[in-house]
Every structure is written in structure tokens, then in C-alpha cells.
Amino acid sequence: DAGVTQSPTHLIKTRGQHVTLRCSPISGHKSVSWYQQVLGQGPQFIFQYYEKEERGRGNFPDRFSARQFPNYSSELNVNALLLGDSALYLCASRTSGGGETQYFGPGTRLLVL
Amino acid sequence: LAKTTQPISMDSYEGQEVNITCSHNNIATNDYITWYQQFPSQGPRFIIQGYKTKVTNEVASLFIPADRKSSTLSLPRVSLSDTAVYYCLVGDIDNTNAGKSTFGDGTTLTVKP
């Protein structure tokens, strides 16, 4: 079975640009969460979506937004990129909105110059 | 959410048992304790989760004392491939598994030959 997939694997942008990261959950999983992991630190929760509705938002500015599609895939959008947005962006999926273990994808490495 | 404290790093040798302790003095009644493993440039992987006493699965054991203010992840007979960062999370099971809990900075375990 395919795990959580993310695209692209690596990305280089410049300050002020916009970026869209994509995530496909494990088949049958309806919940997707997004995390930001800065080098040397643990993942920080950004968003959770379940059944196409936002279920939770971490302490991130409004430059960060996300959505979930009818097929349960998800996009994370970041506007007006800052150097500090350079990080590994992780997507995790699970069957429902709470209780079960979440499964992480390999992440997208974003570098902002 | 309960704050967790873990050692920054630990060294061990192949074949030894490794115990990583996590302190969570402010754990709430509904909080569960969850451990993840992360290899470089990969997403975290669920190891084990528990509420009290002892939980064991095929890869690890989790020991939780009666006061639940700490927990210990035990890895039996580690190998070089167990070199990774280990994260302890504490939170309501729905929030934790839905991705709303916060990862700390983790413990970097280095297994030497």
C-alpha cells in the first residue's frame, strides 16, 4: 500500500514569493495534518483538516493557508515567503479526526533565499 | 498542552537496552503519552502510546509510573539502525493523534558499533 506522498520533494524560492505544497493521504484516510519542522527542532503543528473542513490551526500567521479536496488530498499555501519559512514541511494522514495513529509523509524541503 | 522535557542526546552501543525518559509534570487526566521516531529527512514514525503502567509492542516498551509525571521509552537490544531522534508527546488522544500536539526538540540517540 502506498503511504502518504508529498510533492515536490525539494523547492527553492525567494523572499516574497508564494509556494504551494501538496499531500496525498493514505487511501481511506480522511484527515490530513500539516507540520513545519525547522532544522534541529521538532515538528510544529500548522493545520488539521478532516472531511474538507479545518479542524485545528497552530500558531502560524495568516500567510499560511490550506485546503482539502474531495479526494482528501491537501494543499498548503504560504504567501510572502520569509527566510524563516525555510523548513521541512510534513504532511500526516489518519483515518478520522481523532483517536487513531497518524502517518507521516517524507516531507517537502523548502529553502527560501 | 503539557510541556515535555527530554535529554538532548544519548549514546549507546549495539545490543544494549536504551531507556529514554520524558518528564511531563503538568500532564492532564485525559492526556496520553506518545513516542515517535524520526530519521533524517523523513517524517516521524509512531512507536508506542500509553496512558498508565506498561505498554509493550514489537519494537518498544513504555513505562509510566502511577503519578504519570514521567514516562520511559525502552528500546531492547538496539542496533545501528535505531540511531534517530525520539520525540515524546503528551496530549488528549484525539488532539495528539489528530496532529494538534506539539513536538518538543526530541532526544538524539546515537548507537555505536
Q: What share of chain A is helix, strand, coil (3-state, %, to 5)?
A: 5, 50, 45
pLDDT (mean) for B51-61 = 94
- pLDDT category at B103 given cuts 50, 70, 90 is confident
pLDDT (mean) for B50-65 = 94
Task: Kindly state the cell numbers that stand for B41.
Answer: 529527512
Q: Which residue has the cell 501538496?
A: A22
Spell out which residues of chain A touch residue B5, defining contact as CB-CB under 8 Å: none
In a mutational test of the A interface, the residue from B33, B97, B103, B107 whose CB has the highest number of chain A CBs within 10 Å is B97
Residue contact A104–B44, C-beta within 8 A:
yes
- How close, in Å, is residue A3 to chain B by CA atoms? 11
Distance CA A102, CA B95 (A): 11
pLDDT over 70 (residue A50): yes
What pLDDT score was predicted for residue A56? 87
- pLDDT category at A98 given cuts 50, 70, 90 is low
- How close, in Å, is residue B40 to chain A by CA atoms? 10
Residue contact B102–A97, C-beta within 8 A:
no
What pLDDT score was predicted for residue B41? 82
